[in-house]
Chain A
């Protein structure tokens, strides 16, 4: 099978365009933080008494928006009594709209880049580290867009795009691998199942980790402010919803990511059973996916244990993410094993 050079070049160009658009989107999100006067969660605008509630309640209502579409459900109980929640899912404010539009256009370019790469290679376009990182970043941006539309969580845009732009920039420069066929060990339909599950859950995990960091920063700053201590991050935190909202958003992402990751590990075991003759062999990649799974399971248990909720559980969450990243970067680069498909070196 021949690699279609034209499509491969299109893919590279589109990915470059996506990185640029994301970077611009990131700047626009930053501008939004810097210049937007009243950067409140839009759901507050549809709350009953905007004059009475002020910022805090705005965020409080966002907690509800997080759990329910602002334009559905709750509002129906007494449509006559309150103002119609016709806010819709779209962001308000020039900078935020610009940022979100750039993100969406970037995502489109990114998806085209991945599709053309796959068409050029006549295979699933996640067979080496370059393609895998690109796909994970794409998934993270999809989660970002979905969270924004579904939960009005536009405030995470900047903080998700920073690592995405950074990772993609490294991806196209350092990690780049030219298009080509798969090694025989990867020539199986399981790559479409196992690796896709890993990509989907990794994208969710990334957003979850970013939101957890936001939670920790916001929680710390608010507690310091409440205790009368100075807080260097209070300027940013003012633009963020309450720690409770952030906590629930990150937890939500894990509620999706963890079963998908579990499924991915299981699919990997089934694949390993048909490729290497055993479903589990403590290969470094397997070991680290197990460690990642266990640490995220720790996080889930910590959340259900009295005295471990909140910050402590958040540290488990971040520990799980560190394991995930080590599995992606560390195991690929520093440890040899059966999963040495990075295509580097």
Chain B
């Protein structure tokens, strides 16, 4: 268990850089930015996979070792649990008063009948029983270990489910401008991350068209500009020849086609341009711009005209949905297009697209470009800017909206969900159930009555609570016996049989909060090893660790003898630990 503890803590520590540093799998753009900001440090961090912590070999090493140690711990315990399915409780200790919880009283019932009455009561409460001459031993709470094991096995299953998704599932992204459509093929997807055993032929053959998109925003008050609803109307079919259907795609309401889910994860504007080059060719372009902030949805983008002549043309700029002049600077103050404006810097030269190198459509490689000598000017829809040196004209003709879709297929989802709930169920079970033993002994007293001793022991009761259950149980046993005897109880002298031990009396009183008859056994020095039976010798020393921990050994401070400390039972080491 110590190994597992160290690995568990290591796992927590190892996760920290993954949340502090930008991660490739979550925000690749942020990683690029980090490289630009820390050119010296970034390659070193990359060498240690710190930009993809959760896919790093050392991270995998930690969790695989952890799960290995878990499996090595859980499997033998499962076998032991199965083996102990019919295990009977140990024999009742000779002297029950030395157990953490004990009570004693007299009844008119004969010893054998008293034990039988207790046995029936405990049997009715589904205790496992072992009876002998004048005693009965009962144990209950094996479900605790069941819950414990269920929890840990479910965690292993959860890891397996995640792996399942990673092998047979895939993730993809696609940006879709209003009016466009696409089919689910790797070439049509902007980003495609297949699992290890996924081939393009495995992709479900649906196709989706975006008919309209509407975004609503808060139009007044302090939350001005905060979005209040997004709605994309889609037309889709599950494959060629399948009927077309409509769907209103919203955040939190993904579209399901053929066990694939399609999510609305982003939106923005795609301004449209008509560009005439120096030779008179006309190009109509719809260019998605990427939002760089959310309050005004200021978006950046680039236009590339590789076929322009005599030289290629490139533009980089911003789109402002609601442009307002703030101290000479144009700023967008609202995400809806109340006053849409674009402002562009024009370039000419070589876009660098012919070298065969893949290039981002959202970035302009300006190394072989020359900036045209024209100041960026804000253009409203319909307005044009004439490029100098006879390079042509650009007209801002309008804009459309785009959405970005996440497409995921994860066959591990349902198994993960089931494992998660099983883990939770196991956790609750192992926290709620306590393993406890109850012993009853009855022997004839000289005065003709029967002295009944009831003792109790919680083998896993870290938070306490067994005292209550024990007291109630002892009371029920007594009532059952009295009911059988149909006699009126003769109240005995308090602690008459143990009057010689004032310490027990004191603690017993304190423990019982007003009931001297329920007594706690006392100091660790008591060493009630004798009280425990041979094959469970560990039980005997069960409250010494608590005492050892919370005060000097042998301290007279009675708090150390509060018996419910039984929770820190080293015998747990063979039940829980390893």
Contact = CB atoms under 8 A, between A and B. Distances in A.
Interface in A237-261: 241-245, 247-248, 251-252, 255, 258-259
Interface in B388-421: 406-408, 410, 413, 416-417, 420-421
A115 B73 CA distance: 48
Contact of A294 (B11, B53, B54, B511): B11
Given A57-B558, A278-B410, A291-B15, A68 B467 contact: yes
Nearest to A244: B550
Given A64-B562, A277-B265, A295-B12, A284 B19 contact: yes
A74 B550 contact: no
Contacts of A303: 462
Contacts of B573: 306
Interface residues of A, number: 103
Contacts of B410: 278-279
A226 B15 contact: no
A281 B19 CA distance: 11
A47 interface: yes
Interface string A263-287: 1001001110111111111111001
Interface stretch (A17-25, A78-86, A93-101, A104-112): A78-86
A61 B424 contact: no
Interface in B479-515: 491, 494, 506-515
A57 B562 CA distance: 9
B40 to A, nearest CB: 23
Contacts of A290: 12, 15
Given A187-B252, A282-B25, A73 B162 contact: no
A38 B573 CA distance: 41
A75 interface: yes
A61 B467 CA distance: 12
B201 interface: no
Contacts, number: 297
Contact of B263 (A83, A276, A337): A276
Contacts of A234: none
A80 B491 contact: yes
B496 to A, nearest CB: 12
- Which of A81, A308, A337 has the most B CB atoms < 10 Å from its CB? A81
B229 interface: yes
Contacts of B558: 53, 56-57, 60
17 contacts: A3-B221, A60-B510, A60-B561, A64-B513, A74-B471, A74-B515, A74-B518, A78-B105, A181-B228, A190-B252, A242-B559, A259-B427, A277-B407, A290-B12, A301-B1, A301-B4, A304-B572
Given A252-B464, A277-B406, A335-B19, 15 more contacts: A48-B509, A52-B506, A60-B559, A60-B562, A64-B467, A73-B469, A75-B513, A77-B478, A181-B223, A184-B229, A255-B431, A259-B424, A276-B263, A287-B19, A301-B5
Interface of B: 1-2, 4-5, 8-9, 11-12, 15-16, 18-20, 23, 25-26, 53-54, 103, 105, 162, 171, 218, 221-223, 226-230, 250-254, 261, 263, 265, 406-408, 410, 413, 416-417, 420-421, 423-424, 427-428, 431, 462-469, 471-472, 474-475, 478, 491, 494, 506-518, 545-546, 549-552, 555, 557-562, 564-565, 568, 570, 572-573, 576-577
- Nearest 8 Cβ contacts at the A-B interface: A48-B509, A67-B464, A82-B514, A68-B468, A73-B468, A242-B559, A277-B406, A180-B223
